[in-house]
Amino acid sequence: MDLQTLLFTAAMSFAVAVILGPLCIPLLRRLKVGQSIRAEGPQAHMKKSGTPTMGGIMTVIALAITAIKFGFGSSQIWLLLLVTIGFGSIGFLDDFIKVVLKRNLGLRAKQKMFGQILVAVVFYFILYFTGQLNTTISIPFSNYDLNFSWLYLPFLVFLVIGFSNAVNLTDGLDGLAAGTSAIAYGTYAVIAFHLSHYDIALFCAAMVGAVVGFLVFNIHPAKVFMGDTGSLAIGGGLAAVAILTKTEILLLLIGGIFVIETLSVMIQVFSFQTFGKRVFKMSPLHHHFELVGWTEWRVVLTFWLVEFVACLAAIAIYQR
């Protein structure tokens, strides 16, 4: 496999997503799957009420078609699709219950967590029974590997669930989650190609194309939102790629924006529950910058830039 193949894969995935847009968006409108906007959120977001959600299905379909087309015989492609589609299915069910069945809470927290744990555990045991499980963690800036042994199972579950929900938290502004995800997956395409994990690189290239194709319709002002269908799938797939490339620690930098957004929520909750004070005007962090006067587009561009710099740093660290 060469670079040209990866670029063609990304281009095909992009084309499929762009073709799906005019087909899916009107259908989502007819199903009246409009996004509900939080009353306590930035007032500028109220005009987005009713914008179709569940658009992440476009990304998942484009990814699946392209990845299967070019990597049908690869067990790693199918394994990555299992995790991505598994988490996407949980998100789809949650979105469907909320916006189609009009049950505002969607899946209960316990139901959602059970589904996520189930997909992550299945992922672990497939790795185990196919001889692909590697329980060591590489420590950056050293030649030392830490063997987690049986603790790798809870670590894997935590990592996959954590990143699926981290991308979900980041999906709050037009183009924010899609743009940062494209940068993160693009970085992993480079790393996987360098490692000669060509099937994983192909999967990442297909995801980049699918996400950028979705971004055509999600850029401000968004015509569609990805919903949990897209964000959980993207986050789960990203963590699975990190696990297969044995770059679990590096994922914290490659997914830097997702980590920052999640930490902002944790800090806000801890501060308010402990001291009765808020550190940020609103969490996740992107809403804080909106409330201090930044335009939505400025926040998105700044976060894209931070993610890009973090990924460049990750590549530099990896090559040391």
Give the separation between CA 120 and CA 116, rounded to whole angstroms. 6
pLDDT value for 201: 97
Does the residue 262 lie in any domain?
Answer: no
Average pLDDT over residues 164-193: 96
pLDDT at 103 over 80: no
Does the residue 270 lie in any domain?
Answer: no
How many Cα atoms occupy the beta-carbon half-sphere of 219 within 13 Å?
9
User: pTM of the prediction?
Assistant: 0.94
Task: Note whether 37 and 46 are within 8 A (CB).
Answer: yes
pLDDT at 104 over 80: no
pLDDT value for 174: 94
pLDDT at 168 over 90: yes
Q: pLDDT digit string (tens) for 252-272?
A: 999 999 999 999 999 999 999
Q: pLDDT digit string (tens) for 286-314?
A: 999 999 999 999 999 999 999 999 999 99
pLDDT at 35 over 70: no
Give the separation between CA 220 and CA 224, rounded to whole angstroms. 10
pLDDT value for 3: 87
pLDDT at 37 over 80: no
Cβ atoms within 10 A of the Cβ of 235, count?
A: 30
pLDDT at 119 over 60: yes
254: left (phi over 0), alpha (psi -120 to 50) or beta: alpha
Does the residue 198 lie in any domain?
Answer: yes
Q: pLDDT digit string (tens) for 189-244?
A: 999 999 999 999 999 999 999 999 999 999 988 999 999 999 999 999 999 999 99
Query: Domain limits at 143?
Result: 3-40+48-247
pLDDT at 31 over 60: yes
- Classify residue 78 by burial, with Cβ atoms within 10 Å: 0-12, 13-18, 19+: middle
Enter the DSSP assignment of 34: B
Does the residue 219 lie in any domain?
Answer: yes
Task: Note whether 150 and 234 are within 8 A (CB).
Answer: no
Taking CB atoms within 8 Å and a gap of at least 24, the contacts of 112-115 are 113/161, 115/90
Does the residue 319 lie in any domain?
Answer: no
Give the separation between CA 154 and CA 132, rounded to whole angstroms. 17
Distances (CA, A) of 60 to 197, 251, 265: 22, 21, 27
Query: Of 13-17, 128-132, 137-141, where does mean pLDDT reach its minimum?
Result: 137-141
Give the separation between CA 253 and CA 318, rounded to whole angstroms. 11
Does the residue 295 lie in any domain?
Answer: no
Percentage of the chain exceeding pLDDT 70: 93
Domain total of the chain: 1
CA-based torsion, 147, 150, 154, 160: positive or negative: positive
pLDDT range class, residue 76, cuts 50, 70, 90 = very high
pLDDT at 47 over 80: no
pLDDT range class, residue 38, cuts 50, 70, 90 = low
Does the residue 101 lie in any domain?
Answer: yes
pLDDT at 43 over 80: no
pLDDT at 320 over 90: no
Q: Which residue has the higher pLDDT, 173 or 49?
A: 173
Does the residue 17 lie in any domain?
Answer: yes
pLDDT range class, residue 48, cuts 50, 70, 90 = low
Average pLDDT of the residues of the chain: 92
Count of residues for the chain?
Answer: 320
pLDDT at 44 over 70: no
Query: Token pair 């700044």 is at which residue?
Result: 302
Task: Please provide the DSSP assignment of 40-76 as one string.
Answer: TS-GGGGGGTT-B--THHHHHHHHHHHHHHHHTT-HH
